[in-house]
């Protein structure tokens, strides 16, 4: 695959990005495309490694390793190296319904398990993937695929995130009539409102929704199942229902002063910002504005990073992100060997921007918020914290211990809580009468059947908070199972 000596001849070239100080002045995507020549060189680095772990798709040490949708990565790397772009697109679309999404926002576990990554920087798989699909749209190679016949069967899909869209795409191609219900005013789920525009341009999402609509999928927005339409009505109107509502119940802080004004969940902040941007370019004022304010983000993950980037674009006075864990090492430790996902220190786009604007990385590590203090009007004023030490007990279990003398007071007018999600929201589950375990819908992986006849579940609603590639994986697999349920057999790939 690729050039025989490509991994020796060529270095990995970093993805191109717009200048951090420039891009914080707008909401356009921060990344820039590679030239075809550069991509050819990067594709040439893909080794003929015999066993390509990059597309194995499994979990090691609790994290994803390799590609869960089993992208044929070495094949399209080789085709890009040889300049055979349309063939590369054909190979990519065999396994991935939406490479334009994964190529932008997937954390690329495939690169962590790249064989070359044992000794050298991995192949730039993610950049090549995005380039293939973008070139496909630019050259008109992506066109509506209208099913030649219909089965007469109707499927309702609740939720239009990546799992819902993937299952809709697959079932529509199988000839079923698919209706996707979305309670927001635009389809896309977290792709539309949970990920900021500078990371995933909403025109990219709308382009795919338009294509799916042309292919025959019906999208019903501003419709909340259980309020605007009941489970009984869906059962009466459709032959099968798939629950792809995501894990949108956000984990809250249980802390003194939590009721202070100015504390919001991260998704509320991000959703309102994106909606206002799309609706009126912020002229409606229907968003949380941090201009001139001190902002603290609690939670060290990607959602927290997106809050940092959003606050920077709103011209906040300062921004800090709290994380409870220590800073990650620069290189893999002995307990984090290849091909497990590399738990190493990286600089996400938001942190580069904060460093460029304020002169330092906004992340604070091993820190615990002790209490929140409001002023006489109940308005958020400050946070009190203490540093923590991560230790291991005699049985090998980790625990955190406060370090006396490290107390600190932080001024803040806004706090955004980004400490993860507990599971799916319960009212919908009660409507359908489906069982749940730990706030996740009970449906076995690979089968996706709930305890209710004709009702299936997939994606984060079933597995909990996870990656976009797992959502697409489950969306494709649940489509196969629903097709079997409706027709007795299925030719859809799993």
Mind listing the pLDDT tens digit of every residue in the chain (494 residues)? Answer: 678 899 999 999 988 999 999 999 999 999 999 999 999 999 999 988 888 999 999 999 889 999 999 999 999 999 999 999 999 999 999 999 999 999 999 999 999 999 999 999 999 999 999 999 999 999 999 999 999 999 999 999 999 999 999 999 999 999 999 999 999 999 999 999 999 999 999 999 999 999 999 999 999 999 999 899 999 999 999 999 999 999 988 999 999 999 999 999 999 999 999 999 999 999 999 999 999 999 999 999 999 999 999 999 999 999 999 999 999 999 999 999 999 999 999 999 999 999 999 999 999 999 999 999 999 999 999 999 999 999 989 888 989 999 999 999 999 999 999 999 988 887 888 899 999 999 999 999 999 999 999 999 999 999 999 999 999 999 999 999 999 999 999 999 98
Closest CA to 110 of 339, 309, 263, 331: 339
pLDDT for the residue 1: 66
C-alpha 110/C-alpha 122 separation (Å) is 9
If you count DSSP H runs as helices and E runs as strands, how many of each does the chain have, helices first? 18, 22
Q: Is residue 481 within 8 Å of 449, Cβ to Cβ?
A: yes
C-alpha 382/C-alpha 258 separation (Å) is 12
pLDDT for the residue 248: 87
pLDDT for the residue 426: 77
Q: Please give the helix or strand (H or E) that residue 320 lies within, else none.
A: strand 318-322
C-alpha 50/C-alpha 27 separation (Å) is 43
Q: Is residue 129 within 8 Å of 111, Cβ to Cβ?
A: no
What is the set of domains in the chain, with CATH numbers? 6-138 (1.10.1060.10), 154-248+422-487 (3.50.50.60), 252-419 (3.50.50.60)
Burial (0-12, 13-18, 19+ Cβ within 10 Å), 406? middle
pLDDT for the residue 278: 98
Q: What is the DSSP string of 294-312?
A: EEEEE--SHHHHHHHHHHH
Grouping H, G, I as helix, E, B as strand and the rest as coil, residue 402 is strand
List the end-to-end C-alpha distance of the chain, in Å, as a whole number: 26
C-alpha 481/C-alpha 376 separation (Å) is 58
Position of tokens 């938001």? Answer: 350
Grouping H, G, I as helix, E, B as strand and the rest as coil, residue 436 is strand
- Please tell me the pTM assigned to this model: 0.96
């Amino acid at each position: 695959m690729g050039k025989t000596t490509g991994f020796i001849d060529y270095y990995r070239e970093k993805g191109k990005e717009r200048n951090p100080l420039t891009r914080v002045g707008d909401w356009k995507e921060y990344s820039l495309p590679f030239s075809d020549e550069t991509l050819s060189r990067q594709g040439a680095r893909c080794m003929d490694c015999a066993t390509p772990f990059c597309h194995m798709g499994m979990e090691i040490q609790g994290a994803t390793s390799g590609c869960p949708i089993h992208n044929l990565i070495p094949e399209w790397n080789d085709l890009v190296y040889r300049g055979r772009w349309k063939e590369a697109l054909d190979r990519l679309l065999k396994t991935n319904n939406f490479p334009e999404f994964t190529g932008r926002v997937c954390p690329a576990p495939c690169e962590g398990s790249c064989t070359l990554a044992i000794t050298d920087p991995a192949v730039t798989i993610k950049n090549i993937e995005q380039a293939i699909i973008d070139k496909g749209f630019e050259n008109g190679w992506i066109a509506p695929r209208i099913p030649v016949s219909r089965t007469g069967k109707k499927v309702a899909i609740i939720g239009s995130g990546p799992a819902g869209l993937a299952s809709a795409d697959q079932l529509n191609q199988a000839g079923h009539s698919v209706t996707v219900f979305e309670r927001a005013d635009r389809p896309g789920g977290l792709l539309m409102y949970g990920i900021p525009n500078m990371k995933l341009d909403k025109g990219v999402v709308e382009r795919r929704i338009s294509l799916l609509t042309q292919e025959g999928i019906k999208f019903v927005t501003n419709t909340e199942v259980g309020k605007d339409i009941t489970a009984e009505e869906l059962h009466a109107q459709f032959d099968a229902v798939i629950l792809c509502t995501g894990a949108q119940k956000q984990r809250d802080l249980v802390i003194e002063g939590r009721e202070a004004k100015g504390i919001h969940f991260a998704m509320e902040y991000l959703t309102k910002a994106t909606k206002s941007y799309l609706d009126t370019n912020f002229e409606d004022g229907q968003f949380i504005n941090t201009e001139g304010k001190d902002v603290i983000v609690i939670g060290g993950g990607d959602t927290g990073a997106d809050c940092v980037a959003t606050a920077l674009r709103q011209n906040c006075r300062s921004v800090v992100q709290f994380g409870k864990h220590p800073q990650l090492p620069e290189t893999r430790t002995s307990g984090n060997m290849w091909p497990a996902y590399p738990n190493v220190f990286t600089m996400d786009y938001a942190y580069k921007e904060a460093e460029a604007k304020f002169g330092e990385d906004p992340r604070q590590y091993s820190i615990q918020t002790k209490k929140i203090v409001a002023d006489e009007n109940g308005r958020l004023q400050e946070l009190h914290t203490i540093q923590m030490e991560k230790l291991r007990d005699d049985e090998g279990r980790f625990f955190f211990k406060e370090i006396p003398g490290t107390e600190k007071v932080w001024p803040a007018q806004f706090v955004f809580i980004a400490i993860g999600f507990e599971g799916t929201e319960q009212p919908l589950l009660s409507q359908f009468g489906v069982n749940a375990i730990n706030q996740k819908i009970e449906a076995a992986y690979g089968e996706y059947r709930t305890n209710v006849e004709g009702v299936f579940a997939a994606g984060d609603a079933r597995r909990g908070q996870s990656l976009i590639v797992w959502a697409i994986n489950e969306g494709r697999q649940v489509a196969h199972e629903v097709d079997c349920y409706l027709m007795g057999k299925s030719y859809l790939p799993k």
